[in-house]
Amino acid sequence: MKAKLLSVLAEPNRLDIVELLRNGPQPVGEICNKLKLHQPQVSKHLNVLSKAGFVEVHPEAQQRIYNLRIEPFQEIDTWLNSYRKFWKDSFDRLDDYLIKLQEDEMKKKGKSHGKKK
């Protein structure tokens, strides 16, 4: 995972553009109108998004229709996966803690759900 990929989405207007494009492909003008941004800025942001692989463009007459590409999101998803193990461990530890409380308090019945340690 490169920080560069995240930095592209870390700019508020750029993130807005990406979120807008979730609804489907849009020409530049539409994006300007909906987000109340000036055209040159939108073009520049789209250029950055394009270089990072977040969007692709399809010319249509004088318009240029931009749409999202899934690959970078999948890359982020894959990266997040390496943290899911960490979450699970966290929950295991919480689980251990709750079970310990339970045992300390009443020492009567064993655990009812999975526990690793």
Partner DNA sequence: TAAGCATATTTCTGTATAGGAATATATAAA
Partner DNA sequence: TTTATATATTCCTATACAGAAATATGCTTA
19: helix, strand or coil: helix
Residue 63 CB, nearest distance to a second copy (Å)? 21
CB nearer to a second copy: give 7 or 47: 7
Q: Which residues contact 31 (CB under 8 A, 6 or more apart)?
A: 17, 20, 21, 37, 42, 46, 66
Query: Per rule CB under 7 A, is residue 40 in the interface with DNA?
Result: yes
CB nearer to a second copy: give 36 or 109: 36
- DSSP one-letter string for 52-74: TTSEEEEEETTEEEEEE-SHHHH
Asked if 66 contacts 46 with a C-beta cutoff of 8 angstroms, the reply is yes
Residue 109 CB, nearest distance to DNA (Å)? 39
CB nearer to DNA: give 36 or 116: 36
Query: Per rule CB under 7 A, is residue 51 in the interface with DNA?
Result: no
Alpha helices in the chain (DSSP H): 3-9, 12-21, 28-35, 39-51, 71-106
* Residues from 41 through 70 that contact a second copy (CB under 8 A): 68, 70
Which spans of this chain sit near a second copy (rule: CB under 8 A)? 1, 3-4, 6-7, 9-12, 14-15, 19, 22, 68, 70, 73-74, 76-77, 80, 82-83, 86-87, 90
